[in-house]
Structure 1
Amino acid sequence: MLGTTVSHYRILEKLGEGGMGVVYKAADTQLKRTVALKFLSPHVLGSPEGKARFIREAQAAAALDHTNICTVHEIAEIDGHTFIAMALVDGCSLREKVVSGPLDPDEAFEIAIQIGLGLRQAHRKGIVHRDINPGNIMVTTEGQVKILDFGLARSAEHSRMTKDGVAIGTVAYMSPEQARGEEVDERTDIWSLGVVLYEMLTGQLPFRGTGDQAIIYSILKEEPQGMDALGSKVSPEVQGAIAKALAKDPGERYQQIEDLLVALGVSVDVLDYGRPRPARVRVRSARTRRAYLPAGIVAVALLIVIGLYLSLRPRPPSLGGKSVAVLPLENLVAEGGNEWFSDGMTEDIITQVAKIKDLRVIAPTSVMKYKNTEEGLARIARDLGVGTIVTGTVRQAGDRALVTARIINPFTSELLWADSFDNARGDIFAVHTEVALQLAGALKARLTPDERSRISNVPTDNPEAYELYLKGRHFMTKREPIEIRKALAFFKQSIEKDSTYAPPHAGIANYHITLAIYNVVNPEEAFTKAKAAAERALSLDPNLSEAHTVRGAYEAMHGWDWSRSEREHRRAIELNPGSAWAHVWLSLHWRTRGRMDAALAEIQLARELDPLSGLVNSHLGMILIALKRCEEGITVMESCLEMDPYAVIIRMWLGSAYMSHGMFDQAIAELEESRRLAESDEFGLTILGRAYAFAGRRAEAERALEELHAFGSHRFSPYGIAAVHASLGQTDSAFVWLDRAYRMQDHWGAMNMAVDADPAFDGLRSDPRYRAVQRKMGVDG
């Protein structure tokens, strides 16, 4: 055909040939441009099915307008020749690039991400490509990726295509369901992209064999060889992302392509709906195993990429498409009255949504940062890393509660659902249930019968009991002792109205354990009360996640029944997967057991759910300090203080972090400010005493000890006093107080002795008495 003219295209040269047809370079004589023409192969020209498939390619691709999808200009049939005219890509196929071996990891990631962005556009149009492989991917000379050949693409509603029992597609890149000839959806493209990425990074296919049937057997029955064994140096996180993309069960893969993109480090800006994508995608800088860069360089890098979990500020959660933020309901009561009710309604809706495992909802602490804000919804969604926003209003009017709620796509302003409710005060739980169920429907979340039952549960029919509970919970969120004390009275009044209402019992349990942990009251007495209240709550409602959390916290911090602690925390998360604090407490359990890898993983999950919480992030900082990763821990802790500059606990822990890194002047300044803000902080004084000792200010350290000894025995941590003595070189006194820490079941002692990283005891660890205390506490590994 060279030199001939078809329609207004003059054939210039042959570019390639495949099973579906031949591709030529041609000159468009009308628009004066060079294009690629793909002609249907003669052996399929007479097949109605083949011709229909060919036309589908053009129709599918023509419907897509994206920089990573090859543009289709037209489809035509002239003089028996059926062809597609498409943009000519100046570059080479990905097949040509990988044939010589693995690509540079940065290049491989950029190509994979651009493929993913193109597929994301196709999937949003309901189109599944079904044949992603290196032969269908072109890379321009400027590094731009173009997806070709939607010849196998079909709308997601009609995605089965087999002929005589043979699956259509390129065998080595087929998903298991495609190889079996089953219905496929966008998850088959996710699998194929996983195969392509594996091949780019290792130079080999994950599923191999001699002949198609052997390859299909490998796809269906075998697991890929480990990438490390093939010489790949990519990080374990990236290997995990590829493994998830290659899960044989589609339900265990990433469910949307954007989930995989986020796992590979795509900036949230790139995923904004309708925003132009930069020519070169910014990707995470630690995909490969490299030595640590200087802290200043890392700090700059982390401000412009996503994916490093040790960012200067908490990263937006990688929650994918089924993620939501319920913004604070606007209180329409004049002059902002009954704030506790509007905030409580917001938190209860979040709690109900969080019970749906297939959804991820941002915790109240983070969304409350946007109360009365003028920030745009798209900006809020980017900050929190979510794809859906719930907004609304609430107003109490006599015995009724008037509520509006809207589910919105923040990037397109599309209203997904809206409704208004005029409910009697006693029927307010119906609002929580309806919003949660509508969210599940709008985001196509899987909802189990058990989840539906728990969401629809009505915990009390007494509106006064509910409102008193909301008031108590409102004061518990203040987290400062003087405010927290106000909560107890409201919880008790709620129980007086309805003694069978479980949440206020859990509130009392949380109240007591919070004060016990920070030694505000006698820990022994407070822990006992917390346990009793939690057990009462569970006797009324065994499915109350908050009560399981407190029960597990009791065992981790005081009862030292480690198996019970783990069991309770896991149950709390099972009942409420979206509870950030359930994950925080499980992290603390693992820290007390010395399992720092598990502790770090759990606190990361909590951080994804509550990214703007200073307290949640400060737990991450403390874990990093315990792991001797002091510079990273300090960076995280300093960002926590920016979130909540008046939080005494954060300042105290930041001072501890400075001390662990030898920054004694900074530690002392922070700890002294913590004591000033708290007016009286005996536990902080145990840390300040150590800082004085390390800084060589012995007289001040001794005065701190005298002040501590003057308090009642319940007002400080025996472990903390032991640490001050140890810092001063007073070994025998240190062991006296360590023994007292064991006998008093000092929770701080158990946690820190398990981690075994406190610099105060560096000179004591070789002493047999130190190991003896660890063994008695049950934290010696």
Structure 2
Amino acid sequence: MPPPLSLPHTLRQYRLEATLGKGSWGTVYRAVDTHLLRTVVVKLLHTAGDPAAQTARLLEEARLASAVDHPNVCAVYEAGEADGQSFLVMQYVPGRTLDALLEDGRLDDALALSLGIQIADGLAAAHRYGVLHRDLKPSNVMVTDEGVAKVLDFGLARRTAPGAAPEDLPPADRADAADRADTAMSSRFGTTAYMAPEQFATRRSTEQSDVWALGVILFQMATGQHPFWMRSMNPAQLPSAIQSYPVPSPTGVRPDLDPAFGAVIAKALARLPDDRYHHASEVRDALRTVAQALVPEPGVAAVGIAPPVPLPPSEDAAPRRGLLGALADRLLPARGTAPDNAVAVVPFADASEAPGPAYVGFALADAVATRLAGAPTLRVRPPRALRGADTPVEAGRQAAAAFVLTGQFARTPDGFHLGWTLVAVATEAVVQGGTVEVAGDLIEAQRRLGDDVFASLAASGALPIAPAPQFRPVDAVDEAALPDALVEDYLGARSLMDGQASRSGLHADLIRATEAFERVVAEAPDFAPAQAGLGIALTRGVRFGYGGVGHLLAAQRHLDRALALDPSHIEATLYRAYTRLWSGETERARQDVQHLLHTAPDDAEVQVGAGVVLQLDGLLDEALDALGTALRLAPGIGPRVYNLRARVHLYQQRPEAARVEIDRGLSVAPAHTLLRTTDAVWHLRHGHLGDAVERLASVVADDPLLRLAHPTLAIAAHRTGDPERARSLMTDDLLAMAAADCEMAYRVGTYFAVAEDPEAALHWLRTAVHLGNHNAPWLLANPDWEALRETDAGVRRTLREVAASQPALHARWRRVLPARRA
């Protein structure tokens, strides 16, 4: 670390006057910009290690933060170098950190709601740019004397797509992360205290891990306590508490807390990401609903609620005047034209026998608008952007919308009865509608209604929720433009990769395909099929245990590039869904697959992908249906599908049906390594230990790098009285690869369960769940876990959480799946 500067110190036009903070990564100063005569913050980066990498790190931080232009995010003014010193210049925000405010105890509810809405809004803005904060905590939030919240320090921020684990970061970033870990208690409870449970298992961040951190902050503001910290606790115990202890009820800690506010906090702190808010914007809107409910009289602005967005004049407004008006009339779109993708959502009418507060109808409509706004192809006019109108259709006309969505609700003893209708503004004809019964509070009604409307409209095609057709960018290269040698490389790679999946299952074939795709991409980086092929090959490598998180990140880069070149590429979209699944973004993965089922139902690979995700979500009969459809569409992929169907039958504890599928597959492809592995699992389940070991040993001998088979061989070896051999198979490489795939993680956890190592078993069970394995029927029935299900509280709690998530998860799926025959 360089010696401290003697202050005042001049760096270009910045006069550094006071030290605000320091760490091994750098020092922060209050400074004056002598050109613009304003107070700023200057962050100097220490140059230990690789100066070039450190400078690149600082510039990347500046680019990330400067992309987010929002009043609740600290602005970045400049990044550069002077006198061999890299520096970053940021907005100076006078005031106190939220951490300092919380030292005096909980905040007033109005202030807590206002700050929560502002923090969530700033976070949502960052997420819209694909930027995760990754270090949200009270010490990274400044509160001005006027009550404005500013989110600071995107020092750990990264683009969403990479989702890098610490070991995949450059050395400078690893050092920075390590420094934060070493100084974890510097923010009262520290960085670790705001990490989501899944981050301890997956070591990766998502939008929902930022939402968890926001939930912890909300809990502290509302109750004055951290949800998991106790005075008698050693700091090293906090990660275990976050992963294992029951999440306390905010209203249990503070009984006088408004129940709706407590429900928002509780949902933000749901242990399973799927049960949590999916986006920070949803937290913001839920808090706005609570804030509006606390307004004593109509006409009083709710805490933290933005004023209505002004709309352009209606068609009958006075015409524009003068030269500028004439130019505007010529150059701007005609007022009142309604784009086909514009929908206005008006407040729902209260049809209850005893109508309640008016904000409920507004809140329900706002939830629907927020959910629809998640579709980038829609233009949504939310209720707060609408002016008063006599009818919903008139509101739609005033908002220049092609459609208007309206509805009504009635309170029931258990919750709400909700009805909604989509109307075409031009014809006033009803396009679609539906009803929803909700047992629960207003927050649950908002979530269920938003999900139901979105899923119903996406499935019917009534609104253009599916991505609109796009032209390929001008830099995309067609096959005809490639040299013959590259075309041969590409076609050869496809043949090898398809053969590996359907016939051999051998790692060598996938490696040769990967190398061929890499040659094509190196020579023709704008050839979308090769980028997609390389991403698919790397993804399959992760799936079969050939690669870990590094392969997953590389796969994401190539698939993203393929889709940038050709947004209609079905396989690239499907395999991007797999990478999202294994990065912990399970809801986005489901949405990708559900969209493909709607837009490309006759693509066999889409049906295979649906079968895989449905099986992981515990919809085993539906998974068999999708896999059966894939087999009818493309009989040539039979061995792969037979293997997947056999595994589903095993999860259903239907060994006879599994045996039929295995035999069918082996009759077509007797050397297929994955089928042979499943065959060994069948023998293992039937107690044929010798046969199982023999078959698995044969698979490993033929393909030593097929690590997917290693945990199962370790289980078999342990059961046959050879624990040393079993332990020798559980290498560091294997565990690193298991951290990138939910089914591999579960197999590793099962080995530790059999080996009677409950701590390791629980860790890998949690990793599997957080990476997307929600196959509750099997998780709750697997005989290898029977002892731990009875004796280990952590295992029981984790399985209960998975089981509790199933009804809502299955209901969302069944809205988009065809009805099953009885």
TM-score normalised over the length of structure 1: 0.40
Q: Tell me which structure has the larger Cα radius of gyration.
A: 1
TM-score normalised over the length of structure 2: 0.39
Query: Which structure carries more relative contact order (alpha carbon 8 Å, separation 6+)?
Result: 2
